[in-house]
Chains A and B, each alone.
Chain A
Amino acid sequence: MSDAAVAEAGEVIVEEEAPKSFTVTLNIRRFDPEVDDEPRWVDYDVEMFPTERILDALHRIKWEQDSTLTFRRSCAHGICGSDAMRINGKNRLACKALVKDFDISKPIYVEAIKGLPLEKDLIVDMEPFFDSFREIQPFLQATSKPEKERHQTVEQRARFDDTTKCILCAACTTSCPVFWTDGQYFGPAAIVNAHRFIFDSRDEASQVRLDILNDREGVWRCRTTFNCTDACPRGIQVTKAIAEVKQAMISGVKL
């Protein structure tokens, strides 16, 4: 690297010297099943730096103001899929949503993802979501017994790369208007995970999964609204994956 690059990096940092914190208002939809009949919106003011995450704001509230605030989280950098929530009406991971990307002159609205039973504050029951996932037989099915690894070309491996990235956060499924009105719909995440195997050259059960998804509650419910693709924190082309699965039903799997 040239010295110029270092100097340049130095300058960028210098500009950010002494970043200023400011007050952000979070309006959180709270629900305590042991007390409340209905969810209620509660305001919290928190001091935040622009590069901090919404998850940091939630932590600050929980740790400094009201420790009863309840949400899931673990990795804090978008890899475990625990903290999908609706932030200003859009499904995001709280740990990937930075304060600076919001208009902080207004409150930031935070609520649980929609379409799954609300349990408490920002927590929903994930079981129906995982049930759909389990139903599409999300595991490699191959009868050959190779001595070492099964071979796969770089191109074959690339064919399903996009859908291997899924962290099962449910942001896609719970942003889908079809899923909101029909909780029986498999939903985008299950289809994404079916895609991951359908297009894996090593797998032999594509047809089984296609049959499952050909169901009344399967891929044909998708209305191509692209909400899921917008919501996916892993940048998976969810709508495209669904379209490829539909295509495979019509004209067979093209690897």
Chain B
Amino acid sequence: MAKKIKTNPNAGEIRDGIHYHQHDVVIVGAGGAGMRAAIESAPQASTAVITKLYPTRSHTGAAQGGMAAALANVEEDNNEWHTYDTVKGGDYLVDQDAAEILTREAIDAVLDLENMGLPFNRTPEGKIDQRRFGGHTRDHGKAPVRRACYAADRTGHMILQTLYQNCVKHGVNFFNEFYALDLVMTEVDGVQRVSGVVAYDLSTGDIHVFQGKSVIFATGGFGKIFKTTSNAHTLTGDGVGIIWRKGLPLEDMEFYQFHPTGLAGLGILLTEGARGEGAILRNASGERFMERYAPTIKDLAPRDIVARSMVQEVLDGRGAGPNKDYVFLDCTHLGEDVLENKLPDITEFARTYLGVDPVTEPVPVYPTAHYAMGGIPTNNDAEVLADNDTVVPGLYAAGECACVSVHGANRLGTNSLLDINVFGKRAGNNAVTYAKTAEFIDLPANPAQGVIGMLDELRASDGTENVAAIRKDLQDTMDMNAQVFRTEETLTKATEVIAGLRERYKNVAVHDRGKRFNTDLLEAVELGFLLDLAEVLVACALNRKESRGGHMRDDYPDRDDATYLKHTMAYLAGDPHSSVATDHIRLDWKPVRLGTYEPKARKY
């Protein structure tokens, strides 16, 4: 058998040192959302997937606890209850028609994955097993319900592997370790139309231009604007940043989720599935404090509530440890069997990284920056919006980088793995349908000019500022001033610090001047995106003078539906390089699509 002929990655056609490719559909990102889209599009149309990581390195693989779907395999459940929970969990900032789609298509999304080979845990009857998760309830909040389909605490790993396996099956054309750095738009009859993507090949330093009829962004989150985070080092929000720099809006950026149970000091996640299996949060004196904050569902309240309660315990002096700065996740009563079989990975994380054995000791935990509810605004067909309702033809977004919005002000656990599958599939299908009738839009004269200029400037700079130092200062200020509790004062402070960092960034130094595998250069580029997104997040947070879901303003502790039951829309308007946020960020609003569920006080 002919073996291991080195695959010649499609070099495209080279003109003036730049590689040009043409594909009907160009997908940026090979996490769960990008690959789910590729599985729809690759069999039907010429598809390229550009990804800065090998697909199996994507952070979807880190997801642990489960994927929600009202299969009712183990107890009564239905998708209307799931919709209700999603809307209420999102503090009524959810677009209710989108949530209905999410929960209705959830069933098929799970079955698709099973049929593709995903090894779910099984019930004694051989069906997909389900477990409890925060905020998911039976009959509109009566009691926790078993809705999360799971594979031990490796659900994300199994999803990522299964999707990659099926991409291999379909022969999907991946461009691995290619960094998308720009979206190409061409003016046609006075309108900006999508014509392609510019990417940087890490291994050679070459520039590639991918002309596409439709382009899907599936680039994941941007947790690295924070210091304590469950997110990977590579989650720097490049895709969201690219869209922002193109002058397209971003939605609900102030809504960032802090997951309650990160390993203290490290941020590595311990899934909510642990509490789903019965683990309990305790303060220094051993008290199960969630009984005070959410009497009905206690430790299984949604994440925003649990995270705030934990921080409140610490602020009130009831934290544990030498600095009284964390609480405990107590799994000791679950028994070794449950821990080793249903939660093996997190058991190992606690042992490896904290030297704490969850079988016998409570684990020190503290909230960790986890998930961006906001991002690139899309409609229910995953089409990107240029304003409150104008679609950008041919441009799609799905997954954590997108904001549909199915998560509103606070995402429920297990609803993101669901989101990437439901809306990843929709994006893939719609992108193909569009490409089938659309023509390629001509590329502008020098499509890569902007990217080449940016890279040359960075590479040639004789700057004195250190990338890591600026990033650290950014992360420190975000943790200090824009985390679980925010006020006018802390957010103003963050704004000032970020402005200073943006000035310093202009003088940043890149020491590696080489072409091949220049990660020094890419870290500088990624930092630019982090600074942009942090600036937008803080501006949106300052602007929303109420508390809702993941956005808690200590100076405006109540939800204010009369004024703020609407999505934030942020636009870049002015000099993108300016360090003064108000110079170039314009904020607007977009109505929430309400439906069956009237906003009510959120009690659990």
Contact = CB atoms under 8 A, between A and B. Distances in A.
Interface of A: 1-3, 5-6, 8-10, 12-14, 17, 32-35, 51, 62-64, 66-68, 70-82, 96, 98, 119-121, 123, 126-128, 130-132, 134-135, 137-140, 142, 146, 148-154, 156-157, 160-161, 164-168, 183-184, 197, 200, 202-203, 212, 215, 217
Given A151-B127, A153-B126, A5 B332 contact: yes
A167 B119 contact: no
A76 B328 contact: no
Interface string B42-83: 000000000001101111011000000000000000000000
B530 interface: no
B130 to A, nearest CB: 12
A63 B514 contact: no
B6 A128 contact: yes
A14 B322 contact: yes
Given A68-B511, A80-B56, A139-B168, A6 B285 contact: yes
Contacts of A142: 115, 117
A67 B512 contact: yes
Interface stretch (B349-357, B438-446, B553-561): B349-357
Contacts of B127: 149, 151
Interface stretch (B158-166, B394-402, B425-433, B596-604): B158-166
Contacts of A10: 284, 320-321
A13 B54 contact: no
B125 A77 contact: no
A74 B320 contact: no
B585 to A, nearest CB: 29
A18 to B, nearest CB: 8
A127 B511 contact: no
A29 B502 CA distance: 35
Interface residues of B, number: 80
Nearest to B158: A164
Given A76-B232, A149-B111, A151-B125, A6 B517 contact: no
B514 A32 contact: yes
B12 interface: no
Given A139-B117, A140-B165, A1 B320 contact: no
Given A119-B203, A139-B166, A151-B125, A63 B362 contact: no
A207 B319 CA distance: 58
B114 A150 contact: yes
Nearest to B54: A126
Most A-side CB within 10 Å, residue of B233, B284, B515: B233
Given A200-B119, A217-B3, A6 B286 contact: yes
A218 B345 CA distance: 31
B511 A9 contact: no
19 contacts: A62-B520, A67-B467, A70-B519, A71-B519, A74-B57, A74-B234, A98-B352, A127-B7, A139-B165, A139-B168, A149-B115, A149-B128, A156-B126, A157-B119, A164-B151, A164-B161, A165-B157, A183-B4, A197-B117
Contact of A77 (B280, B349, B356, B516): B349
Secondary structure class of chain A's binding surface, majority of residues: loop
Contact of A6 (B54, B111, B282): B282
B333 interface: yes
A220 B268 CA distance: 40
Contacts of A62: 468, 519-520
Contact of B124 (A51, A71, A154): A154
Given A6-B282, A123-B517, A128-B4, A77 B115 contact: no
Nearest to B59: A75
Contacts of A197: 117
A3 B285 contact: yes
Contacts, number: 209
B125 A74 contact: no
A212 B59 CA distance: 32
A34 B137 CA distance: 59
B159 to A, nearest CB: 12
Given A98-B352, A120-B516, A13 B233 contact: no
Contacts of A35: 514
A79 B154 CA distance: 9
Contact of B517 (A1, A70, A80, A157): A70
Given A74-B232, A75-B61, A164-B158, A68 B520 contact: yes
Contacts of A215: 1
Contacts of B1: 212, 215
A139 B207 CA distance: 33
A160 B514 contact: no
B226 to A, nearest CB: 14
A72 B166 CA distance: 25
Contacts of A81: 56-57
A137 B1 CA distance: 14
Nearest to B3: A184
A161 B286 CA distance: 36
A9 B362 contact: yes
The 9 closest A-B pairs by CB, nearest first: A140-B117, A63-B468, A151-B126, A139-B165, A139-B169, A68-B512, A149-B114, A80-B57, A74-B232
Contacts of A152: 122, 126
A28 to B, nearest CB: 15
Contacts of B134: none
A206 to B, nearest CB: 14
B116 interface: yes
B466 A63 contact: yes
B166 A74 contact: no
B121 interface: yes
A167 B165 contact: no
B231 to A, nearest CB: 9
B364 interface: yes
B516 A34 contact: yes
Contacts of B466: 63-64, 67
Contacts of A2: 286
A161 B7 CA distance: 31
Nearest to B53: A74
B321 A13 contact: yes
A138 B165 contact: yes
B361 interface: yes
Contacts of B328: 1, 6, 9
Contact of A138 (B4, B62, B168, B285): B168
Contacts of B110: 149
A136 to B, nearest CB: 10
B242 to A, nearest CB: 20
Given A51-B353, A80-B57, A131 B7 contact: yes
Interface string B302-325: 000000000000000000111000
